[in-house]
Amino acid sequence: MNIEDIQSYCLDKKAVTEGLPFGDDTLVFKVADKMFLLANLEGPLSINIKASPEEVIDRIDRYPEARPGYHMNKKHWISVDIDFNSDIPRIQTWIDRSYELVVSSLPKMVQEEIRS
């Protein structure tokens, strides 16, 4: 899995935008202007994604590629190291979950628009 795979996967989701609000080395994906994934563009590839507090603990305990979210609220974010041996379906499921957590936090009208 590489940055292009992540970019394509995220942009296929409804109402997603991408940008570089923190500088040229961090690509940010948002749904309805709320972040659900950050990816570094320099050095080894890693992403920051949202998770429930229980999921954060479980993923960090069970998966060596998961660690507390770098520069993020460690209760709600994890950093995931990505390499060519990564379990792509698992990473995609985690990305889906991050997206869904953000969508579910939006006002009901916005949620309905995104989900329709």
List the chain domain ranges: 3-115
pLDDT at 88: 93
Class of domain 3-115: alpha beta
Examine the pLDDT at 78 and tell me if it is beyond 90: yes
User: In this predicted structure, what is the pLDDT of residue 70?
Assistant: 82
Nearest to 103 by CA among 38, 39, 46, 29: 29
84: pLDDT strictly greater than 80: no
pTM for this one? Answer: 0.94
User: What are the two backbone dihedrals, phi and then psi, of residue 82, each rounded to the nearest 5 degrees?
Assistant: -110, 135
Quick one: what percent of the chain has pLDDT higher than 70? 100
Residue 56 has pLDDT above 80, yes or no: yes
Model confidence at 100: pLDDT above 80: yes
